A = this chain, B = another copy of it.
Amino acid sequence: MPLPPDHLVTLSAILQTGSFEGAAQALGLTQSAISQRLKSLETRVGAQLVHRTTPCTATPAGQRLAAHADQIALLEARLREDLTGLAPAPQTRLRLAVNADSLATWLPQALASLPDHLFDLVIDDQDVSHDRLLRGEVLGALTTRASPLPGCDVIALGLLRYQAVASPDFIARHFADGITPGRLGVAPMLQFNSHDQLQHRWITQATGVTLSPPCHRLPSSEGFVTAARLGMGWGMAPEALLSDDLARGTLHLLRADCPLDTPLYWQWSRLLGTALAPVTRALRRGARLSLRMPQDLTKSGETL
């Protein structure tokens, strides 16, 4: 039995505006009507959907239901588009899981090419973002995972190239006698968060050993580069974020011959494939301009 659409719209409005008052204003209803609709939806689903805090936030069940509402809104907007030839209503917001380093480099330009769309971006490590896709919390995800998740389609976008960098002072202080396992084991390292294994992979690639150096955790792509520039540690950053610092000499490569390439895939819910087609096209176009395109990536998923 489908859930009443006006009740789903009410839930979305509460979460979007952060309050019952805001939802009432947005929908032209009284606050008591908003409250009644939400309660009726919660009874129907058998779970609390909204934490009555300031601002109101979604419970896990509320989050799942709001994502469902967004998906229905998207399908309806595309239907309207197909039936009338009009662009989808700008109210349709697409929730996508993206990795921080794409958002810091090539992604905004790709998304800005779709002025008729609204995006709700959720930042996740590329290695874990597919969990959100599996749980239905997002419509699509930029991920390192090449094989399609159940119910999803996938294309290879390209390679994001990382370089190991540090400030000249840091290199003089810690690596005066070369980038050796002994020095890498004690020099402070930067890590995006506990999931980030790029630095560890680079150490293994560059020296052949496995190490657990002391490290800072700093979950911001640009903050990472700033921290490296300030000499807090060495770390791996996307080459697109490094060009100015490398040209100015405020950052140096640890090794000129040792980049680390990370493949990036776009996975999306197959059910929404047609509705998401403009996004898929925009991502493919943006990636072609900014990512590296090796031959072997084209083997997985569709061809580039």
Binding site for B on A (CB under 8 A): 13, 15-18, 22, 25-26, 55, 57, 90-91, 93, 100, 103-104, 107-109, 111-112, 115, 118-123, 188, 194-195, 197, 200, 210, 212, 214-223, 226-227, 230-232
Residues on B with beta carbons closer than 8 Å to the beta carbon of A219: 121-123
In the complex, the answer to whether B232 meets A108 with C-beta atoms within 8 Å is yes
Residues on B with beta carbons closer than 8 Å to the beta carbon of A200: 18
Question: Which chain B residue has the least Cβ–Cβ distance from A22?
Answer: B212
In the complex, the answer to whether B222 meets A119 with C-beta atoms within 8 Å is no
In the complex, the answer to whether B55 meets A215 with C-beta atoms within 8 Å is no
In the complex, the answer to whether A210 meets B118 with C-beta atoms within 8 Å is no
> In the complex the two chains form, what is the Cα distance from A160 to B148 in whole Å?
44
> In the complex the two chains form, what is the Cα distance from A126 to B23 in whole Å?
24
In the complex, the answer to whether B212 meets A57 with C-beta atoms within 8 Å is no
Q: In the complex this chain forms, how many copies of it are found? A: 2
In the complex, the answer to whether B214 meets A111 with C-beta atoms within 8 Å is no
In the complex, the answer to whether A194 meets B57 with C-beta atoms within 8 Å is yes
Q: How far is the CB of A182 from chain B (nearest CB, A)?
A: 15
> In the complex the two chains form, what is the Cα distance from A120 to B218 in whole Å?
6
Q: How far is the CB of A221 from chain B (nearest CB, A)?
A: 8
In the complex, the answer to whether A230 meets B91 with C-beta atoms within 8 Å is no
Question: Which chain B residue has the least Cβ–Cβ distance from A108?
Answer: B226
In the complex, the answer to whether A104 meets B230 with C-beta atoms within 8 Å is no
Residues on B with beta carbons closer than 8 Å to the beta carbon of A100: 220
Residues on B with beta carbons closer than 8 Å to the beta carbon of A109: 230
In the complex, the answer to whether A25 meets B118 with C-beta atoms within 8 Å is no
Question: Which chain B residue has the least Cβ–Cβ distance from A230?
Answer: B112
In the complex, the answer to whether B220 meets A91 with C-beta atoms within 8 Å is no
